Amino acid sequence: MTDLRNNIYLEEVALINFINLTREEAELLLTWRNDENIRKWMYTDHVISSEEHRIFLERIKTDSRNFYWVIKDKGDNYLGVVSLNRVDFRNKNAYFAIYANPYLKVPGAGRMLDEIVINVAFEILKLHSLRLEVIEDNTGVINLHKKMGFKEEGRLKGYIFKYNIWKDVIIMGKINENVRKG
């Protein structure tokens, strides 16, 4: 099985694990994460300090269920971030999240990031199911995931408090039909 703490190299892109980032890459990701267009869709939407970011990067070095990668193309462009979270190898499932580089406008970036994480989850890791959580009014992302074959599986009513109102979180999922048994 692939060690998810390593970098992963696909045909067109490299997935650089957050535990292998250079100092400059770590600073770049903090800038992205603190961009208002990224923060507004996250559960944790405050501006993250350098110290908080450093502690997060240290903590994930020993985490065996949550994995984060920055995606870099062959032209050395950083395209975005993908993660697999709550990875359960016994039951062959995980949650995932993506966000595109907010300073590099690449048409179809979200679709490309979805395809990358689906490839890693279903083709490399042979997971049976993949899920995500999305805030109810993030309709662009909901529609993107629907186009990628994800279906709404549930709703967490009033799950997060953002902009002075309670918002639902939609759970979406996709099954890998090629994995029938353990």
Q: What is the DSSP letter of 176?
A: -
Q: Has residue 74 been placed in a domain? A: yes
- Whether 82 is covered by a domain: the verdict is yes
**Mind giving me the DSSP string for 34-48?**
TSHHHHTTSSS-SPP
CA distances from 97 to 23, 68, 116 (A): 23, 9, 11
The percentage of the chain sitting over the pLDDT mark of 70, rounded to a whole number, equals 98
Segment 35-42 shows an average pLDDT of 95
In a domain? residue 178: no
The predicted pLDDT at position 2 comes to: 72
Q: What is the mean pLDDT of residues 134-157?
A: 97
Residue 3 lies in a domain: no
Q: What is the pLDDT of residue 105?
A: 87
Q: Is the pLDDT score of 182 beyond 60? A: no
Q: Quick check: is 156 in a domain? A: no
Query: What is the mean pLDDT of the segment spanning 147-162?
Result: 97
The number of distinct structural domains making up the chain is: 1
* Strands 93-100 and 129-135, bridge-based pairing: parallel
Distance CA 10, CA 153 (A): 30
Let me know if residue 40 belongs to a domain. yes
Q: Which residues span the domain enclosing 83?
A: 8-128
Residue 148, domain member (yes or no): no
Asked if 160 contacts 166 with a C-beta cutoff of 8 angstroms, the reply is yes
**Domain contains 135:** no
The predicted structure's pLDDT at residue 93? 98
Q: Are strands 151-162 and 13-17 parallel, antiparallel or unpaired?
A: unpaired
CATH number at residue 42: 3.40.630.30
Comparing CA positions, the residue from 129, 118, 119 lying closest to residue 92 is: 129
How confident is the model over 69-80, as a mean pLDDT?
Answer: 95
